[in-house]
Chains A and B, each alone.
Chain A
Amino acid sequence: MDKSALRLPNDRWKPLEIAFWLLPVASYFLFPDYLVLVSQIMIVGLFALSLDLILGYAGIVSLGHAAFFGLGAYTAGLLSVHGWGEPISGVLAAAIVAGIVGFIVSFLVVRGQDLARLMVTLGIGLMLFEAANKAAFITGGVDGLSGMATGKLFGVFEFDLYGKTAFWYSFGVLFLLFVVLRRLVNSPFGMSLRGIREGGRRMPAIGANVDRRLKAIFTIGAAVAGVAGALLAQTTQFVGLDVLGFPRSAELLIMLVLGGTGRLYGALIGAAVFMVAQDKISGLDPAYWQFYIGLFLVLIVLFARGGIMGGAEKIFARFKPKEPA
């Protein structure tokens, strides 16, 4: 007897997933020269994951997600500049600050439709950018925050020039949060979010408080973005205005649709593909690079909705033996 329809999605780890997580570990040994790039990919991947929660799962289109990334980066950065360099408490502080602001913003976001949400998120992102730009006496303005010194991890491991500590630190935080978020999206709460995305008006009929759920996931997404920002600040020991900029929010959207929205691995794969491509093509003029990202986006929307993961799923489905009805 098949009871699968009554159960939550199968939460057991598949061999393919375990293999996926062995990839960064393998890259540590295989490509020791690319540690910094791989760390950055993992951090941006975490950031993409946080947007996937609110956009891929809950269907909220946000154009200002960099606001929370930047808040996290500045929180960790400012703590460190003022003598509090301990990394883990810095990350927690960043999560709390970004989470609180995310919670406040969530009240504005749940009102109105797509267009109003778009404008509110965009507006808040731009407001924070302007604030950081004008408050140069705190943030260093366009020059960025200088004089950051990240303390030893667990009081033992120093952040070295080769980025070894940064690598394991980023990997550890990403993996830990991924496990938590994976559990979250497969929980009844996660399922209700998908329900809201698919047809928000019907959800109250089954007793779901739509606004409260959207506020909750928006807050969680903001906090996770804050963690990603803090990780970037601590591992590069620098925070610049660009952490808050609109291009960062736009690039993040691109990574997410490239990988495939509404799938946690889509966010990670999208970030990886985007970052590697950027690294390889960065020799080109930034203007040309922008042209290709633009073209890429247009083509994805027109021809490849679902991104890499969506495409992979279609291919897998073709080879999968059909289940008896």
Chain B
Amino acid sequence: MIGNFIGVLFDGIAYGSLLFLISVGLSVTMGMMNFINLAHGAFAMVGGYVCVTLLSKLGLPFLATLPLAFLAAAVVGLVLERTLYRQLYQATHLDQVLFSIGLTFMSVAGATFLFGPTQQPVNLPDWLRGQVHVLGLDLGSYRLFLIGVVVLITLGLYLLIERTRFGAQIRASVDNQTAAAGLGINVSRVFSLTFALGSGLAGLGGGLGIDVLGLDPSFPVKYMVYFLLVVAVGGAGSIKGPLIAALILGVFDVAGKYYVPEVGAFVIYTLMVVLLILFPFGLVRRKA
């Protein structure tokens, strides 16, 4: 019973950390650029399909496909930001919502056209399959790997934002665009690069998540709520907030599906509405 519970907790944390990885870029877009981007899941899908294609068509090793998934999604993000997104930073939230729903629909149709409507398989290398025995518990190797990767990336992200010059520029632009521009920071370039970074992380998450989340053309719509949820509940513009929110969400979702399967996704939607009522501005409110 206890082992069971720890197993669910472990799976929930693995799932939550994956959600965090994909959503953290969205937190920046929504918090920093004040842009409601419902199409964020499409960038994750790009990463997923890049991974699958490289694995099956070119036979690249799984680990090698991950950086390429990051890169591909980052490039797509950068191009879209430069051409389309930036035109709508000053637009109303409604316009942003409509624009990004439009992009989402297009990405779903595009993926169906290119890859067909079916679920994509992913062949994980042997060392990532099976279980690892830790203190008498059987833990999925892949989930352990997932948690490890996300911890590393979160640390890297933290160092990037807190310790580097670029990070300082991001923080300055988040806090006050006008003042940042006045200090000679090229805010528009910082925005573009940050957007690309966020999209890239989503793409990496999409690649890593094929085994856990699955990959088919409906991906951006199916998980849209989850990514939005992580950011809305966590508090847009921070890293800590979405991390906490993603872990809570992941654990509750897995626990809900495990213990009360007849209720299904209802658990998570209820949790979200309750959390939003309690914290209308998110768990971690960004200091202005």
Binding site for B on A (CB under 8 A): 55, 61, 63, 108, 111-116, 118-120, 122-124, 126-127, 130-131, 133-134, 246, 250, 253-254, 257, 261, 287-291, 293-298, 300-302, 305
Do residues A111 and B265 form an inter-chain contact, with CB atoms below 8 A?
Answer: no
Query: In the bound complex, what is the Cα–Cα distance between A306 and B112 (angstroms)?
Result: 31
B118 at the A interface (CB under 8 A): no
Do residues A297 and B105 form an inter-chain contact, with CB atoms below 8 A?
Answer: yes
Q: Which residues of B contact A126 (CB under 8 A)?
A: 225, 265, 269
A-B contact count (CB 8 A): 131
Main secondary structure of the interface of B (DSSP, over half): helix
* CB-CB nearest in chain B for A60: B94
Q: Which residues of A contact B160 (CB under 8 A)?
A: none
Query: In the bound complex, what is the Cα–Cα distance between A25 and B64 (angstroms)?
Result: 65
1/0 contact trace for B266-287 toward A, CB 8 Å? Answer: 1001101100110011000000
B236 at the A interface (CB under 8 A): yes
Given A115-B30, A119-B228, the answer on whether A298 and B109 have CB atoms closer than 8 Å is no
Do residues B265 and A301 form an inter-chain contact, with CB atoms below 8 A?
Answer: no
Q: Which residues of A contact B104 (CB under 8 A)?
A: 294
Do residues A253 and B84 form an inter-chain contact, with CB atoms below 8 A?
Answer: no
Do residues A112 and B281 form an inter-chain contact, with CB atoms below 8 A?
Answer: yes
Do residues A112 and B102 form an inter-chain contact, with CB atoms below 8 A?
Answer: no
B36 at the A interface (CB under 8 A): yes
Given A119-B229, A130-B269, A287-B112, the answer on whether A302 and B97 have CB atoms closer than 8 Å is no
Do residues B232 and A115 form an inter-chain contact, with CB atoms below 8 A?
Answer: yes
What are 18 inter-chain pairs, A to B, with CB distance below 8 A? A61-B93, A111-B277, A114-B93, A115-B93, A118-B97, A119-B272, A123-B225, A123-B276, A126-B269, A130-B266, A261-B94, A287-B113, A291-B106, A294-B104, A297-B98, A297-B102, A301-B99, A302-B88
Do residues A120 and B264 form an inter-chain contact, with CB atoms below 8 A?
Answer: no
* CB-CB nearest in chain B for A133: B264
* CB-CB nearest in chain A for B101: A250
B148 at the A interface (CB under 8 A): no
Q: How many residues of B contact A (CB 8 A)?
A: 45
Selected from B36, B98, B263, B266, the residue in CB contact (under 8 A) with A254 is: B98
Selected from A116, A131, A293, A294, the residue in CB contact (under 8 A) with B276 is: A116
Q: Which residues of B contact A55 (CB under 8 A)?
A: 94
Query: In the bound complex, what is the Cα–Cα distance between A296 and B263 (angstroms)?
Result: 37
A248 → chain B, closest Cβ, in Å? 13
Q: Which residues of B contact A290 (CB under 8 A)?
A: 105-106, 108-109
Selected from A63, A130, A294, A295, the residue in CB contact (under 8 A) with B97 is: A63
Q: Which residues of B contact A288 (CB under 8 A)?
A: 109, 113
Do residues B105 and A293 form an inter-chain contact, with CB atoms below 8 A?
Answer: yes
* CB-CB nearest in chain A for B111: A287
* CB-CB nearest in chain A for B231: A115
Selected from B102, B112, B264, B272, the residue in CB contact (under 8 A) with A123 is: B272
Do residues A127 and B273 form an inter-chain contact, with CB atoms below 8 A?
Answer: yes
Query: In the bound complex, what is the Cα–Cα distance between A63 and B100 (angstroms)?
Result: 13
Do residues A246 and B103 form an inter-chain contact, with CB atoms below 8 A?
Answer: no
Query: In the bound complex, what is the Cα–Cα distance between A253 and B112 (angstroms)?
Result: 23
Query: In the bound complex, what is the Cα–Cα distance between A206 and B104 (angstroms)?
Result: 42
Given A111-B277, A298-B102, A298-B103, the answer on whether A287 and B266 have CB atoms closer than 8 Å is no
